[in-house]
Amino acid sequence: MNRTAEIYERDFDAWVQRQVFLLRQGKTGEIDVEHLIEELEDMGKSNLRELESRFIILIAHLLKWQFQLETLATQWKEFEGKSWRKTIIEQRAQLLFLIKKVPSLKSSLHLAMTEAYPEARRLTIRETNLAPDVFPVDCPYSVEQLFDEDFYPDCTQN
């Protein structure tokens, strides 16, 4: 293992600083290419993971809104789902910001939503204690609806 690779294993920040220094100096022959490629690939994956994570939270709250809001509002007259609405608004804002900063993610929206849905469904089942068959197996919302600031699904009586 060469010295640069050892730094990578021991002190990641020092490794990054060293790679930046080498690039700025034009010393491309000394760059730890293998680890640099790995890190660049991971950077792209982290944006996709953030997209999926935000979809999980957004979809879970839309599911709670659709399948639990009416029941809770009946049980507790003062329950209006304000915290759910705030989370929905926040996640939509964060998603729009992410897409603005990383426009290439637009091509991954449908796939990310599809990948996120089973986890959002699982999370909602655990949080609501409702039967799994209450929730659709496939995402009932389109990507357009997820980004539509005025979209809130109709409440379903259980």
Nearest CA to 59 among 138, 131, 130?
A: 138
Residue 139 gets the label, from left (phi > 0), alpha (psi -120 to 50) or beta, of beta
Does residue 135 sit within a domain? yes
Contact 108, 48 (CB under 8 A): yes
* 5, part of any domain: no
Query: Which amino acid is it at 149?
Result: E
Q: Is residue 21 part of a domain?
A: no
Q: What per-residue confidence (pLDDT) applies to 74?
A: 57
Would 152 be classed as within a structural domain?
no
Q: Which domain holds residue 91?
A: 46-147
Whether 20 is covered by a domain: the verdict is no
The number of folded domains in the chain is 1
Q: Is residue 74 part of a domain?
A: yes
Could you read off the pLDDT of 111-150 as tens digits, one per residue?
999 999 999 999 999 999 899 999 999 999 999 999 999 9
38 half-sphere exposure, CB direction, 13 A CA radius: 9
What is the per-residue pLDDT across 90-106, written as a single tens digit (0 to 9) for each? 999 999 999 999 999 99
112 in a domain, yes or no?
A: yes
Direct distance between the N- and C-terminal alpha carbons of the chain, in angstroms, rounded to an integer: 62
pLDDT digit string, tens, across residues 38-47: 988 888 789 9
Q: Is residue 12 part of a domain?
A: no
Long-range contacts of range 80-89, CB-CB < 8 Å, 24 or more positions apart? 85/152, 87/57, 87/58, 87/61, 88/58, 88/61, 88/62, 88/152, 89/149
| Residue 119 in tokens | 């986890």
The two structure tokens encoding residue 105: 């993610």
